Structure 1
Amino acid sequence: MARPARKSAAPTKPLLKQPVRIGKLDAPAIIGQLRKLHEEAEDEEIGQMPADNELFQALLYLESHAGALKDEQARRTAAVQRVKLWEYLREQIDSHQAKAIEHARAAGAEWTELVPALAVKSPSAAYNKATRLRAAELSNLSRGNRSVRRTPEAVLDAERQAALRAAAERRAQEVAARRHRLIAPVAQRLIEHRSGLDNDGEVTFWLDQIAALLPSCQTPTQLVSLETYVEAVVRELRKVERATAGPAATTADAQLAYAAAAELVAK
């Protein structure tokens, strides 16, 4: 009986098996730990070791001076850490090489010019290798835990999705910026004239929240908090008005600040 033909996966469908990766790593800190091992082993040339943030050169030094570590445990620890750091460095290369290709193409370089640079034999091979590099980069940055297939269709789809997300983020930031231009002056007026609004209760509490947040209000999350605090001040002032059957503000400036906040909240 003939075996059923295996169905090919859709070219844009994410890979089911996510590659195992080192991911984020404090490489300079690990280099610093390895430097300490060499210092403790009295490595006579440790003064020539590159700085902790010069990862490649530091690894070359540690490799060439591995014999300076006389303790077996220290040698094993250092070697395992070097394996990890080389793997970490390998993971960084795809992203940087993909960016270099992107810059070369943007500068007008043809695929034929990239053949020797990518160590391949034809322009189509250069294109395919560039596609694989972009897929690896998109897997790292754009899809979270979803791997991008190394096909032109998958890469184009992932880039389209990334562009849509970036556009949405820009729109959200623009909306937040416009909202900030509206709400920040209103919140500032409430603080400037709070002496006519404070009631030693909930109104005072929310005005304190505004005063603490306003000087550093920059991010969308902070803006949402600021708007929430202004809404809370308006809500509590209305409660005061209902409870006292009189104005909540005790000065003309405070009343105007309250009115402006109430108008903004109503929008």
Structure 2
Amino acid sequence: MRIGRIDSAAVVGELRQLHEDAEDRNIDQMPADEELYGALLYLETNFMALKGDEARRTAALSRVKLWEYIRERADIHQQRAIEDARSAAIEWSGLTHVLAVNTPSAAYNKALRMRASAMADASQGELAVRRTPEAVLEAEQRAAALAAAERRVAAEASRRHILLAPVAHRLIQHRDGLDDGDEISYWLDEIEAVLPNCHTATQLISLETYVRAAVRELRKTERRTARQAGTTGEAQRAYAAAVALVAED
């Protein structure tokens, strides 16, 4: 369940009225209704200016709602910033500090959760605007189509696992014959960590992400050194199999 899209300025205006009715002596210092963050800080500081339990209950609940609204919107806008960063060729490793996580995979997973929030907001917003019988029918049809798409995704994930697991295993098996640069070693470590327990869709997505990242870093090494990524025949064949799998998409 989500708060979704609300007229936050109108809610702040209602809270302003409560403070005016209570003859709050500092009301002139309250930021404009459109300045949501500043208004909420004012309302927090001057909460005790309200008179009566009912006014305080109403104000407190509205503040909780508005903070939740800010939290939801923050995910949406931060996800857009992440997309811009990625389009500017910033690696996941370059996003770990600003996302307050320790590893590139954690940054990726955090961004994935934000993307889900953004998608949920878009879906909820559309349904909130249109409530006609036709719109409800359309929403039901979309839900059915989404369920069918999810089944197709699950089937594809199963197929990908059959293909992906042995390729990832070969990379780990022959990693001693691959370049041991920091980035390459990091992603091979991630593959090795998730591979033994790769059963769920999320784990499969993580494994595929790590294989792609390892291939990307090995390609960079090839271009930089003008040498093959593998120093042994088995390692080079393992790398070639990973390249072929990634190229299928």
Q: Which has the higher helix share?
A: 2
TM-score with structure 1 length normalisation?
0.46
TM-score with structure 2 length normalisation?
0.49
Structure showing greater relative contact order (alpha-carbon pairs closer than 8 Å, 6 or more residues apart): 1
